Amino acid sequence: MAAPLAFGLFNINNFVCSHPENIATVAKAAEDAGFDSLWTGEHVVLPDPQVPPSPVAPEGRMLDPAVALTYAAAFTKSIKLGTGIIILPQRNPLVLAKELASVDVVSGGRLIFGVGVGYLQPEFDALGISMEDRGNKTLEYIDAMRAIWSADKAAYSGKYVNFAGVSANPKPVQASGPPVVMGGHTGPAWRKAVTHCQGWYGYALDHDAVAKNVEGLRKAAERHERPAWLGELEITVTPRGRLDRDAVDRFAELGVHRLVLIPRGDDVDSWKAYIDDMAKSLL
């Protein structure tokens, strides 16, 4: 029998929760209800006017993930705090490492570092960053961030990142830094998850799509060596479609460890009601 799933809550920095008082209310409600984690999304800028595949209208409110999670941490005690995801090639890895180490410290070691390679050309263009080779850049950035997080005499030499003779303190509470979760539904994403990450995150997937991705991860694990210290690959999914107990059990049988739910409603009371409904029916 599959193990019980954990449940996370998405959009802790978006829409209703782009207002600080609502972050506090929703974060406390989710923790009290038994959710295991809170998750942010990210786009630094959005195309204006909105063009496919941009997921959000340009007027959409979206707080920076580190800021929103730090604020949520101040009103909670134990719930995990996840970035779902940060577009890593758009960031300076050492600046981001400092920001995320700070989040991990002030939260008492609760951060989950979800990453992705990005897909919006206008966003990359506005930031003056090339989309070329963003996959390899992402892997370098992960390795470089882990180096500055964990080594007393940190150094890294790569194609995109080079540093030595510097330190950044305090280190994250979690040894070697927060667990890294790779987002994406493609072969390269599966490979990166297997070789470099503690987890994988699939967004807006039904059961068939989850099965396809789990099989892709399995085949990637057959072709590529997974460092033993990464442990078992934790699979996190934001589900698509109607969610009831039978649907949850099917996700568990497919190998999913955590479902990250998207609250419904246009105000904080609707989100609190959703949290309560899910707690009673699923958690």
State residue 2's pLDDT score: 55
State residue 3's pLDDT score: 64
**Bridge partners of 8?**
37, 260
pLDDT beneath 70, residues of the chain: 1-3
For domain 6-281, the question of CATH label 3.30.465.10 is answered with no
- How far apart CA 151 and CA 148 sit, in angstroms, is 6
State residue 174's pLDDT score: 98
Backbone CA torsion sign across 118, 122, 124, 126: negative
User: Mind listing the pLDDT tens digit for each residue in 109-144?
Assistant: 999 999 999 999 999 999 999 999 999 999 999 999
Asked whether the whole model's pTM tops 0.95, one would answer yes
End-to-end CA distance of the chain: 17
- How far apart CA 183 and CA 201 sit, in angstroms, is 5
State residue 26's pLDDT score: 98
State residue 188's pLDDT score: 98
- Cβ-Cβ contacts under 8 Å for 171 (sequence gap 6 or more): 101, 149, 150
**Bridge partners of 224?**
none
State residue 4's pLDDT score: 82
State residue 60's pLDDT score: 96
Residue 157 three-state SS: strand
- How far apart CA 223 and CA 225 sit, in angstroms, is 7
